[in-house]
Structures are given as structure tokens and as C-alpha cells.
Amino acid sequence: MTLEDAAAYACRGRGRRRRAPRGWAGLTPTELTVARAVSEGLSNPQIAKRMFISRRTVATHLTSIFRKPGVSSRAELAAAAARQAPVAGTASRSPARAAGPGQARWRR
């Protein structure tokens, strides 16, 4: 975890909420991180390990994510994330090599 990530983690949940209740603008920073991980092809256990949270917490975030932008599956979420510049972030990356089923590998 970078210093910037640690600072963002420490500051989340503080102050007044300024997010829209629906749509991509309504996603929390943690939900955006989960959405990015899904768009990279990671499974719930892989996301949980990366973010140091439980698998159940990942599932809870996904439930909230699906509701806000109105998607109903991981595939829809990944497709919608690809259309959203703040979430997609991976559009400028190219595949490093062939990945296994459900896994995308990217290089920066």
C-alpha cells in the first residue's frame, strides 16, 4: 500500500457525504476500488486478499455497487466500468500475456 493509499484509507468516512445516491458518482472510494478489481477479472477472494477485507465484505460492496449504477452482474459491471474514465483506469494498459480463465493480467 502506498503512502497515498494509506492516507486515503485513513481519511475515508470522515466529514459530510457529498456523493450522489445513485450512479457512478454515488460509489464510495472503496466501492470504486472493488469495481476496478472486478474489471481486472479478480475473484472475490482475490479482491479480499488485495484489500485486506473479508470475502463477505467484498460481496457486500458488490451488492451496493450493483444497485447504484443499475448493473446486475460482474460482466455488466466490468463493461460499465470500461466506459467510466474514473473507474476504468485500465484502458491505457495493455495485456502483458495470456491469462487464465477469469484473470486479466496487465502491465503498466
pTM value?
A: 0.61
- The reported pLDDT for the residue numbered 16 is 61
- What average pLDDT score do residues 42-66 get? 96
In a domain, 1, yes or no: no
Positive or negative: CA dihedral 28, 32, 37, 38? positive
Residue 37 lies in a domain: yes
Query: Does any domain span residue 99?
Result: no
Under 8 Å between Cβ of 36 and 81: yes
Q: Is residue 30 part of a domain?
A: yes
**Measured distance CA(81)–CA(58) in Å, rounded:** 17
Beta-sheet strands, E only, within the chain:
94-95, 106-107
Is residue 61 in a domain?
yes
Can you give the residue range of the structural domain that contains 44?
Answer: 20-86
Give 7-32 pLDDT, tens digit per residue.
Answer: 777 776 666 656 667 888 888 899 99
Residue 96 has pLDDT above 50, yes or no: no
What integer pLDDT is reported at residue 1 of this predicted model?
78
User: At 40, which CATH number?
Assistant: 1.10.10.10
How many domains are contained in the chain? Answer: 1
